Amino acid sequence: MKIGMNTLLFTAYFKDEHTKLFKKIKDIGFDGVEIALAAKGDFDYKRTADAMRKQGLECAAICGMFGTDRDIRGPNKAYIKNGIQYSRDLIDCAKALGCEIAAGPSYSAVGRANMETPEDRKVQWKTVVQNLKEICKYAEDQGIYVALEPLNRFETDFMNICGDAIRMIKEVGSPMLKVHLDTFHMNIEEKDSVQAILDAGDLLYHFHTSENDRGTPGTGQVPWKGIAKALKKIKYKRWVCIESFTPDNKIIAKAASVWRQTEKNEISLAEKGFKFLKELLPN
């Protein structure tokens, strides 16, 4: 397994100037960087790829940021169109940066959480299946995987557990659609985080680590030893990325409800998190 660092720890909007972070990320020991793409054109793909290579880093994944107007479950047709195009942009970015994963909750806008009727849920599910088929056709043409990330109940009412993602993957039927799990969300929603990993099996193509308080992996209640054993059992060999936050990044802190310091700063979180994962995970 390779260990990566998500850029959302440092900035909500990755730009060309943030490539200066790569040296520090490499010095800590990380194998790669997971870049959050807020919008197409926010940074120069070639310059960023060159900067990573210069530091001996790989691009672990491109992480999606699905706002209100990027919602493929409808009914707003403009939002559906935007969501499909944004997923295409993520795929293009991943290909340009030499990675194979566009990850995140591409099925809906983050923060859309309502008490829907069973009838409305059926319609929305069918709509997402249809739109993901279109996205995945583009992903197949580009050779990039799309990994669906279930979120906790406070961030979405649509896909909360691994089983939801597996069901969606089966209905879409694309070889490029996979599972993306996150320890923070699993700790809230899954009856058993370890079993969720085992259930995902070879469909698991991306993995986020964060503590139950969104802080440094290894400092809270997440069942890390069991998670490590489960990853080993399914022979997971892909990226394990830290996606944790501090109040220093105010935009993300507000979005993720991170109100207090759990580390003295971002670098401390990255250093401690990397050390913990390096010792925890099998090589």
| 5, β-bridge pairs | 33, 242
249 confidence band (pLDDT: 50, 70, 90)? confident
**What is the model's pLDDT at position 127?**
99
Q: Beta-strand (E) ranges in 121-198?
A: 145-148, 177-182
User: Domains plus CATH for the chain?
Assistant: 2-280 (3.20.20.150)
**181-211 pLDDT per residue, tens:** 999 999 999 999 999 999 999 999 999 999 9
> For residue 49, what are the CA distances in angstroms to 94, 107, 129?
10, 28, 33
> 47-72 pLDDT, tens per residue?
999 999 999 999 999 999 999 999 99
Contacts of residue 10, defined as CB under 8 A and 6 or more positions apart, other chains included, come to 18, 21, 249, 266
- pLDDT confidence of residue 283: 67
